[in-house]
Amino acid sequence: MGLLSKKDAKLITDPLADNNPITIQVLGICSALAITAELKASLVMGIAVLFVLGIGNVVISLMRNIIPSKIRIIVQLIVVASLVIIVDQVLKAYAYELSKTLSVFVGLIITNCIIMGRFEAFALGNGPWKAFLDGIGNALGYAVILLIVGFFRELLGSGTLFGIPVLGDPIEKTGLYSTGYENNGFMLMPPMALIIVGLIIWVQRSRNTSLIEH
């Protein structure tokens, strides 16, 4: 990363692992549970949050000296909500197909606590460039967990990846299904996402014991 100083690079790499927004800060759990039944939905959500958090962090950072502290949460909420709505409207007008895919995610993006969390914890106290890197880093950290959870839920729940059957046909009983294997419908339910996130947290903390809180 020749472009970035070591400190700046850390802003991106830290949230990917040791300061991951989902597994360490435990933010954004609600959307991680809701939309990870499919890998494609996880990917779309990851990209959407990347955009919103990257831009939102910069906007909040630019406004950080004029926002009254008493109503800062409301201001943050309004910034993210108007950003998302404007993007949604523009997509509806000029990229209708894409907006159909994203429409379901709009509400989930606005209420994503990672976005509010980064505004509050980072963008309000740092310059725009740093805030931008922090936004990108956290969104990537979020997307990584979403993709891991989505991978296992779609594979074990539906036997597909990105909608493509990889384990054979469950109805015709071909491939792995011929051995008596069955899709686990429970994997499609939100609680299983919580269990997978729990397993990721366990693996991560057993590899790096300094992350364990006492």
Partner 1 sequence: MSTNTDTNKYTILFAIGMVVIVGSLLAFTASTLKPNIQENERMETQQNILYTMGINENGATDIKFIGTDKVAGEFSKYISKQLIINKDGSSEENSEAYLIDVKKEQAKAKNGGTRQLPLFVGQKDGQAFYIVPIRGKGLWDAIWGYVALDEDMVVQGAFFDHAGETPGLGANIKQRYFMDDFVGEKLLTASGDFKGITVAKGNNDPKNLTKDDYEVDALAGATITGDGVSAMIKSDLKLYLPYFKNLKTQLN
Q: Show the tokens assigned to 100.
A: 């159909």
Q: Show the tokens assigned to 63.
A: 């406004």
Closer by beta carbon to partner 1, 37 or else 145 = 37
Among positions 28, 52, 105, 139, the unique one binding partner 1 when judged by CB under 8 A: 105
Among positions 62, 85, 166, 199, the unique one binding partner 1 when judged by CB under 8 A: 85
Give phi and psi for 92, each to the nearest 5: -60, -35
DSSP string, 164-197: EESS--TTTT-GGGGGT----GGGGSHHHHHHHH
Q: Which residues pair with 160 in a beta bridge?
A: 165
Among positions 125, 185, 191, 198, the unique one binding partner 1 when judged by CB under 8 A: 185
Using alpha carbons, list the distances in angstroms from residue 32 to 28, 121, 193. Answer: 6, 21, 7
Closer by beta carbon to partner 1, 10 or else 128 = 128
Contacts of 150 (CB under 8 A, 6+ apart): 36, 37, 38, 39, 41, 42, 43
Q: Assess 189 for contact with partner 1 (CB under 8 A).
A: yes
User: What's the number of CA atoms in the CB half-sphere (13 Å) around residue 132?
Assistant: 8
Candidates 6-14, 87-95, 116-124, 131-139; binding stretch for partner 1 (CB under 8 A): 87-95
Site string (119-158) toward partner 1, x via CB under 8 A = -----------------------------------x--xx
In a 3-state reduction of DSSP, which class is residue 103? helix
Least Å from the CB of residue 24 to partner 1: 25
Count of residues touching partner 1 (by CB under 8 A): 39
- Give contact residues for partner 1 (rule: CB under 8 A): 34-38, 41, 44-45, 65-71, 74-75, 78, 82, 85-86, 89-90, 92-94, 96, 103-105, 107, 154, 157-158, 163, 171, 185, 188-189
